[in-house]
Each structure stands twice: as C-alpha cells, then as structure tokens.
C-alpha cells in the first residue's frame, strides 16, 4: 500500500480536499501509476455540480500522464518505469465496439450510470477509513492511481508528460471529433460552439482537415484571439445579436455550415448547433457531456431534410491503439499543444485551477 496525497471530493458543490490516501497495490491485470501531470477538464467540474452524476466520495481527474510504479499479475504489455497515459475510454479488444471499425466506446468504460469502482467491484483508494470511489476508471487527481491494463497506453519515453497529458482527453476529444467523427473535408465550413480547450482542439482538427471557414462561437469574447491563432476564421458572440445564433450562422454562410460541433454540454447549444448546419447534408456533432436528466425537444423536420446528428466520445479514437500514435505525431510536430495550456499550478492549488476554469480564464 502506498500513502500519498490526493484531491478528494467528499460531496457535491464543495472544494477539493487534499488528503492523505492509501492506494492499494494493483490486482491481476491492473497497473499502478505515479501521476506526473494532470489537466483540469470541465467534465470533472460537471461531477461537482451534479450535471454528471457519480457516487461520492470520489477522486476525480481523467486527463493525465505518468510513470508506471508497479503492475499486477498477468500484465505483459506494460512494465514499471514506462511512461503512460491513463484511458477513460478503455480498449478491451473483445467487445462489439472494439471489434467494429466504426466504434470506439468500449463496453468496459465506466461512463454513464457509473459504479465508480474497479472491474471487480472494489476500490483501490481509502481515506480516513472510508472507501473512495474511482472516476471513469482513471482518477488522476492523486499522486498514485490504479487502472486496468485495458485503460492505459504506453507512450514514447521522450514525451514531455506535462504537455502530452492533454492527449488523455481534451486534445484527442476535440481533434478527433473533427477528423475522425465528422471527417471534415477540405474546403468545408465549420462552426464550433464553445472555445475552451476541447473547442480549440476541434478548431485545430478542422484546420488540419483543410476547412476553408471555421467559425468560433462563445459568449466570452476573451476566447476569440486564441481561437483565431489556432485557425478560426471568424468568431461570434451570441450576446451581440438579437436573433438566435443559428440564424446568424445561416446568414453568414448562406446555407448553414457543413459541420457544427457542440463543445459545451448544454441542451440549448446542442439544438442551435444542429439547426445551423446545412439542411440537407450538414453534420452536427455533440462533444460536450450532456447534463443529467435534461431532454431536448426539437422539430424532426431538422433531421428529415437530411441532417445528421452524431455523438463523439474521446474523438472516436480507439484509445490504446491511437494514443501512442497521437503522442508520436505531437513529437513530430504535426500539431501543437502549448497554446492549449494557459496555467501550470502545483497540485496543492487544484481549487485555484478550477476557479480559473469557472471564470473562463
């Protein structure tokens, strides 16, 4: 058992509490990882606010990179000392989604009505005598974590962990939504709703795919300069218009956009993103985590005329296969990650990090 520091979320709408936790050794087919760097993602905050329902107490975090400390019985693909990225979408290689060329959402993932436990129904974390839940099979807001071997990817030993941790969620999710899920084509027009780290990664993907026009949409105009630096051709703030934003986008493009992406996790913007894409062949992709217990009511004529509405988890990538390749592409400078990093804080200041997220900084 390793004793280390972790940021425990004891209950909803409360700050993180830095605690000493006990991390049990890995069982068969599990891997214990020393976390070196972790990103802060809005999905972690969604658990705190209740928009994403998970059991408490819990150790959040799912976008990270680290070094393998030890492995359980039967683990052959990974050894202590390897640099790795934990995978919140595992790849078992055996379920229908893993076996299909069209899918990536492995049946072993803990997304949805989550148990918050390892595959055997137990936790590897305890604190003050209490069992602490895992978060989507990763739990990276801790100095050490335990993951299943299907939920970890070995990466280039030269990769800078404080940068490539973003490939564990934010970058891959956005970039893949554009190049994998939507399959944006050269010369197409795109709209991206939400210009946080994931939305900016969608822009990077749209630009890499050769889109001729990329329109960023956000109610925080402070986000526009960075969006343009990464490839947005136009940026619009819905607060600047009297009319609904989908009408503004249709007017800007004549017919609506070829591809739209909702990268926020709000039902109103999901509906607007669908409505702003071309009525016959437009494709709208939901990237933001939908809020719990909310439903969308929409005019089915929007789909009848030919639009496609799609979802994308982890950018459609098969995680164990793709993450090492994405890290290799970063090392070859095929894309940038540095502009997505606004602040670097010590672990003890995790609450300040979330304050920065919530205030749009």
Which pLDDT score is estimated for 189? 98
CA 167, 43, 180, 273 dihedral sign is: negative
Which pTM does this prediction carry?
A: 0.96
Among 165, 169, 206, 277, which one carries the catalytic annotation?
A: 169
The label of the residue with tokens 């137990």 reads 122
Give me the pLDDT at residue 110, please: 81
Calpha distance 132→5 (Å, rounded): 13
Residues 6+ apart with CB under 8 A from 11: 56, 57
Which residue among the candidates 46, 133, 134, 246 is catalytic per the annotation? 46
Residue-level pLDDT at 112: 67
pLDDT (0 to 100) of residue 293: 85
Provide the token pair at 233.
């051709």
- For the chain, list residues with pLDDT below 50: none
- 4 is a catalytic site residue: no
Question: Looking at the domain that runs over 182-311, which CATH code has it been given?
Answer: 3.40.50.720
CATH (one of 3.40.50.1100, 3.40.50.720, 3.40.47.10, 3.90.180.10) for 2-170+316-359: 3.90.180.10
Catalytic residue among 17, 29, 62, 343: 62
Residue 235 annotated to the active site: no
Tokens of 189: 């027009």
- The reported pLDDT for the residue numbered 39 is 97
CB 157 within 8 A of CB 317: no
Enumerate the H helices of the chain as residue ranges: 42-49, 96-99, 161-164, 170-176, 197-208, 224-229, 245-253, 267-275, 301-304, 319-331, 350-358
Residue ranges covered by each domain of the chain: 2-170+316-359, 182-311
Q: Establish whether 46 is a catalytic residue.
A: yes
What pLDDT score was predicted for residue 119? Answer: 87
Tokens of 65: 């990179």
pLDDT at 111: 78
CB 117 within 8 A of CB 133: yes
């Amino acid at each position: 058992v390793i004793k280390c520091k972790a940021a425990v979320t004891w209950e909803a709408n409360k700050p993180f509490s830095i605690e000493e936790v006990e991390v049990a050794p890995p069982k068969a087919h599990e891997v214990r990882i020393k976390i070196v760097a972790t990103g802060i993602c809005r999905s972690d905050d969604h658990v705190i606010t209740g928009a994403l329902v998970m059991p408490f107490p819990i150790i959040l975090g799912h976008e990270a990179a680290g070094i393998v400390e030890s492995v359980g019985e039967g683990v052959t693909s990974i050894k202590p000392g390897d640099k790795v990225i934990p995978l919140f979408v595992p790849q078992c290689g055996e379920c229908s989604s893993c076996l299909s060329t069209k899918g990536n959402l492995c049946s072993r993932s803990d997304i949805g009505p989550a148990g918050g436990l390892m595959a055997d129904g137990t936790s590897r974390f305890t604190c003050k005598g209490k069992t602490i839940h895992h978060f989507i099979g990763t739990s990276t807001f801790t100095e050490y974590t335990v993951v299943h071997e299907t939920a970890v990817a070995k990466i280039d030993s030269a990769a800078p962990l404080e940068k490539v941790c973003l490939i564990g969620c934010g970058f891959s999710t956005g970039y893949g939504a554009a190049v994998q899920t939507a399959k944006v084509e050269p010369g197409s027009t795109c709209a991206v709703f939400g210009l946080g780290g994931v939305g900016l990664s969608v822009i990077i993907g749209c630009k890499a795919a050769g889109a001729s026009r990329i329109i960023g949409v956000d109610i925080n105009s402070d986000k526009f300069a960075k969006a343009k630096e990464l490839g947005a051709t136009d940026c619009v703030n819905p607060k600047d218009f009297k009319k609904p934003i989908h009408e503004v986008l249709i007017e800007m493009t004549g017919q609506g956009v070829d591809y739209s992406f909702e990268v926020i996790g709000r039902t109103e913007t999901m509906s607007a993103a669908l409505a702003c894409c071309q009525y016959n062949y437009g494709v709208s992709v939901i990237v933001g985590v939908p809020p719990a217990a909310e439903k969308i009511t929409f005019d089915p004529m929007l789909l009848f005329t030919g639009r496609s509405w799609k979802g994308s988890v982890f950018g459609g990538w098969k995680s164990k296969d793709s993450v090492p390749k994405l890290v290799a592409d970063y090392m070859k400078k095929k894309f940038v990650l540095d502009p997505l990093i606004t602040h670097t804080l010590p672990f003890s200041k995790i609450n300040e990090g979330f304050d920065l997220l919530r205030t749009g900084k």
